[in-house]
Amino acid sequence: MNPAIDRTRFGTAANVRAGLIVFAVSLLLLAMFLSSSLQSYAYDLPVNPLTETIVAWVDAWHGWMEAIGAVQVAEGIADAVARFHDMTFAQ
Amino acid sequence: MLFPTLDFALFFVAVFAVAWSLRRQDGARKMFLLGVSYFFYGYWDWRFCFLLLFASLVAYAAGVALATTGDLRRRKLIVGVAVTLLLAVLGFFKYYNFFLDSLSRLLEVAGLERDMLFLEILLPVGISFFTFHAISYIVDVYRGDAVARRSVVDVLLYMSFFPPLVAGPIVRAAQFLPQLESRRRLTRRALAIGLVLCLVGLFKKMVVANYLATDLVDPVFFDPSAYGTPVLLFAAYGYAVQIYCDFSGYSDLAIGTAALLGYHLKPNFRQPYRSGSLQEFWRRWHISLSSWLRDYLYKPLGGSRHGELATYRNLFVTMFLGGLWHGAAWTFVIWGMLHGAGLAAERWFRDRFGTEGRRSAIGAIVAVVLTFHFVCAAWIFFRAENFGIAMDYFAGLAALAWDVSMITPFSLALIAIPLLFQFTPENLAERIAASIKAAPALALAVGTAVGVVLIELVAPAGTAPFIYFQF
């Protein structure tokens, strides 16, 4: 690979952008599949006008995630893990 | 602020973005990292920041004083005063009540019962680690391994840099400070290693360590007399895996987040349960502490230079103090003494019979199994709430009563899988990082995000603190 192209593709600025994309996508997926945890987090915030707005947004977001099925996928995975977790050698 | 929390995730994304936006302004970048490191530390209790600042200023002042004099006696005096000050602070916060309690019991036995002035002292998180950072800086400057810094910001940042601040790895001044002099770059390799280590660390802590703690280890160690031999043996293996995943998971996260900010920290664990001897175990377990103890305690005591008996004594004293460093309790002291005695016995055996390098395949397997079981037995003291519970545990193991109530396929998998990973090729995380570093950013993002989401979904609810926070 041409070193000049390599520096452009993989220089610090490009890698920082890549890192920010990683964080953004991770936070988005977490917010999608763990919207109920996000709801709990929002409800634990100290009560004030700002956090009330945040809670309203988070409630609406959670509703959308239920509507598109993300919550059900997460619950399905959690249920499968719980079944394995509760299994005994006698079964 | 705990690593596996939303608070830390949001904090780190902001730090990452701002720190790299300041990459061409070294001074501003360092000031920013210093500020966020104190914010990170003060998140537990802002009052502890003054203690961290005090230890940092003692280290800085000692460094400046050492740089201004070449007189050996004066230099020794400076090191002596500074290290004594640091150890006095550590001793007060960590050991005051322990020593008073031990003294009180001793006087009681001698029939000289006295009222003692016990104090309610809150143990500042990470105090053992940043005290060792400060001592490392002072001794490295004294020995000429590190240059004394004129910049107070450099020393403050070395002492408070948030990834390894509260539970290590213990960073050497000679290794970290030169990194503050050069402009930081984020290479694709560092990005990939940082992400892989963060994922591995999260999995070890949030899934393996947390499940083992709540499902198996905590209940069994709470009342070992209620369980039969197979469960006690299983829980001892469980604790060996739990503490490994908890502590090495923290180290992975610390090294990974530091890599994402452009700083290299040395590995702290290298598959310790594959060791065929205790000496090898300590080269693979908590490497930053064992090498610290070797360089700043064992060698100054004389190391192995003054004959056999002195070597055994130095090994024993080093591990005894290593045990005490972990916590103010006799169970930690016994754990340290067991390792010290084991290392000394191993040395004696090797000096007599010279087994190193001449083991057959079966001999190597037997050595690994024996070492693992010695380490597990010592962990029982380390984990037990007190000496009585540890004795109950050993009594239960010796009773040979049948009971498999706590052994489930899930907990068996949690123990077996990390143990199997002890025998994979070394540097597996680096190898994985090397294979994904050329992937497009979006592929890296989706891979990492799916990993994080799966870990969150599989992990038990809640975030237990890391075991090493108490040290």
Instruction: Give residue-wise pLDDT tens across range B375-406.
Output: 999 999 999 999 999 999 999 999 988 888 89
At what angle are helices B308-326 and B330-353 packed, to 10 degrees?
150
**Cβ separation of B448 and A26 shorter than 8 Å?**
yes
Token pair of B34 as six digits: 């210093």
Return the residue matching tokens 């992990």: B459
B200 with B178, same domain: the answer is: no
Nearest by CB to residue A23, choosing from B13, B190, B409, is: B13
Asked if A43 reaches chain B (Cβ–Cβ under 8 Å), the answer is: no
Q: What is the dihedral of CA B164, B33, B122, B102, to 10 degrees?
A: 40
* B227, B403 Cβ separation under 8 angstroms: yes
B234 with B355, same domain: the answer is: yes
3-state SS of B5-74?
CHHHHHHHHHHHHHHHHCCCCHHHHHHHHHHHHHHHHHCCCCCHHHHHHHHHHHHHHHHHHHHCCCCHHH
Q: How confident is the model at residue A1, as a pLDDT?
A: 42
B234 with B342, same domain: the answer is: yes
The answer to whether residue A40 sits within a structural domain is yes
Token pair of B105 as six digits: 């019991």
Interface test with B, best of A23, A27, A71 (most B CBs within 10 A): A23
B288 with B153, same domain: the answer is: no
Domain end residue (candidates: B184, B207, B238): B184
Residues in chain A with CB shorter than 8 Å from the CB of B17 are 16, 20
| Cβ neighbours of B356 (radius 10 Å) | 11
Nearest by CB to residue B20, choosing from A16, A33, A78, is: A16
Q: Is the pLDDT at B8 greater than 50, yes or no? A: yes
Q: How confident is the model at residue A6, as a pLDDT?
A: 44
The answer to whether residue B39 sits within a structural domain is yes
Q: List, for chain A, all residue ranges whose pLDDT scores fall below the cut of 70.
A: 1-10, 91
- The range of the structural domain enclosing residue A57 comes to 3-86
| Cβ neighbours of B355 (radius 10 Å) | 14
Q: How confident is the model at residue B99, as a pLDDT?
A: 80
- The range of the structural domain enclosing residue B54 comes to 6-184
**Cβ separation of A34 and B453 shorter than 8 Å?**
yes
The answer to whether residue B14 sits within a structural domain is yes
Give the amino acid at B289.
L
Q: Is the pLDDT at B222 greater than 80, yes or no? A: yes
B198 with B80, same domain: the answer is: no
Averaged pLDDT for residues B72-92: 95
ipTM (interface predicted TM): 0.86
Please state, in angstroms and rounded to a whole number, the distance separating the CA atoms of residues B237 and B224: 14
The answer to whether residue B1 sits within a structural domain is no
DSSP string, B203-230: IIIIIIIHHHIIIIIHHHHH-GGGS-HH
B333 with B445, same domain: the answer is: yes
B357 with B295, same domain: the answer is: yes
More confident residue, B158 or B437: B158
Nearest alpha-carbon partner for B186 in A23, A14, A85, A73: A14
Token pair of B168 as six digits: 């290590």
Q: Is B133 marked active-site? A: no
Domain end residue (candidates: B184, B212, B228): B184
Count of domains observed in chain B? 2
Please state, in angstroms and rounded to a whole number, the distance separating the CA atoms of residues B367 and B278: 10
Query: Which residue is closest to A29 within chain B, CA to CA?
Result: B449
- B168 in the Ramachandran plot: left (φ > 0), alpha (ψ -120 to 50) or beta? left
Nearest by CB to residue B444, choosing from A16, A22, A78, is: A22
Percent helix, strand and coil across chain A, each to the nearest 5: 85, 0, 15
The answer to whether residue B453 sits within a structural domain is yes
Nearest by CB to residue B444, choosing from A18, A78, A85, is: A18
B118 with B144, same domain: the answer is: yes
**Cβ separation of B445 and A33 shorter than 8 Å?**
no
**Cβ separation of B441 and A33 shorter than 8 Å?**
no
Please tell me which residue in B133, B286, B326, B339 is annotated as part of the active site.
B326
Token pair of B184 as six digits: 């930081």
B160 with B242, same domain: the answer is: no
Cis peptide before B219 (omega within 30 of 0): no
Task: For residue range B84-111, list pLDDT tens digits in order.
Answer: 999 999 989 888 887 888 888 888 888 8
The contacts of residue A84 (CB under 8 Å, 6+ apart) are: B409, B410
CB pairs < 8 Å spanning A and B: 100
CA distance A69 to chain B (A): 15
The answer to whether residue A91 sits within a structural domain is no
Q: Is the pLDDT at B425 greater than 60, yes or no? A: yes
Residues in chain A with CB shorter than 8 Å from the CB of B408 are 85, 87-89
Please state, in angstroms and rounded to a whole number, the distance separating the CA atoms of residues B376 and B235: 10
Token pair of B199 as six digits: 């994922």
Interface test with B, best of A5, A9, A15 (most B CBs within 10 A): A15
Averaged pLDDT for residues B51-72: 95
Q: How confident is the model at residue A89, as a pLDDT?
A: 86
**Cβ separation of A22 and B445 shorter than 8 Å?**
yes
Nearest by CB to residue A17, choosing from B9, B441, B456, is: B441
CA distance B446 to chain A (A): 7
Q: Coil, helix or strand for B303?
A: coil
Give the HSE-up count for residue B420: Cα atoms under 13 Å, Cβ half-sphere. Answer: 6
Domain end residue (candidates: B127, B151, B184): B184
CA B204 from centre of chain: 15
Q: What is the dihedral of CA B329, B335, B341, B347, to 10 degrees?
A: -130
- Percentage of chain B beyond pLDDT 70 is 98
B117 with B220, same domain: the answer is: no
**Cβ separation of B448 and A15 shorter than 8 Å?**
no
The answer to whether residue B239 sits within a structural domain is yes
**Cβ separation of B407 and A89 shorter than 8 Å?**
yes
CA distance A29 to chain B (A): 6
B179 with B206, same domain: the answer is: no
Count of domains observed in chain A? 1
The answer to whether residue A11 sits within a structural domain is yes
Interface test with A, best of B457, B458, B463 (most A CBs within 10 A): B457
More confident residue, B3 or A71: A71
B195 with B110, same domain: the answer is: no
CA distance A38 to chain B (A): 9
Alpha-helix residue ranges (DSSP H) falling in B161-298: 162-165, 173-176, 188-202, 210-212, 218-222, 229-260, 278-284, 287-293
Nearest alpha-carbon partner for B288 in B173, B380, B180: B173
